[in-house]
Structure 1
Amino acid sequence: MRHQVILKCTECGEENYISTRNRKIHTERMEVVKYCPRERKHVLHREKK
């Protein structure tokens, strides 16, 4: 079953994206490089606890 996760910017701390992942297959927290509108550049986003 897929669960919704919130992706948070590592530089400004803003919650910019919502994504889904399968917690049984991917046990570690999700990390994706996405565009941050506040920083106006591509930045690492991590899954919020």
Structure 2
Amino acid sequence: MGKSKGSRTVITLECICRNEQINNTRKNGIMRYSTSKNKKNTPNRLEVKKFCPYCNKHELFREIK
């Protein structure tokens, strides 16, 4: 039998640039990353700076439902 994951859940991180208007040569789109977090240690929504290829720079990614 395998071990259970316990309180770790899979979450989706989405770039905040999806709501902003960007005057750039690249097309606007939605960039998402998936990761896991421990609900007991971090009950709040997660925010991480990661690279967004649509913005072509590091942006803030927020956890979505």
TM-score of the two chains, using structure 2 as the length reference: 0.69
* Overall identity of the aligned pairs, in %: 37
How far apart, CA to CA, are the structure 2 residues paired with 1:42 and 1:32?
Answer: 10
Q: Which has the higher strand share?
A: 1
> What is the aligned-residue RMSD (CA, Å)?
1.2
Q: What are the ranges of 5 or more consecutive residues in structure 1 without an aligned counterpart?
A: none
The equivalent position to 2:11 in structure 1, one of 5, 17, 28, is: 5
Q: Which structure would you say has the larger Rg?
A: 2
In structure 2, stretches of 5+ residues that fail to align are 1-6, 20-29
Q: Which runs of 4+ in 1 moved over 2 A?
A: none
Q: Deviation string for 1:1-49 (max 9, x for gaps)? A: 2100000000126242001000111110000000001110000000012
Residue 42 of structure 1 aligns with which residue? 58
Give the structure with the larger helix fraction. Answer: 2
One-letter code aligned to 2:55:
E
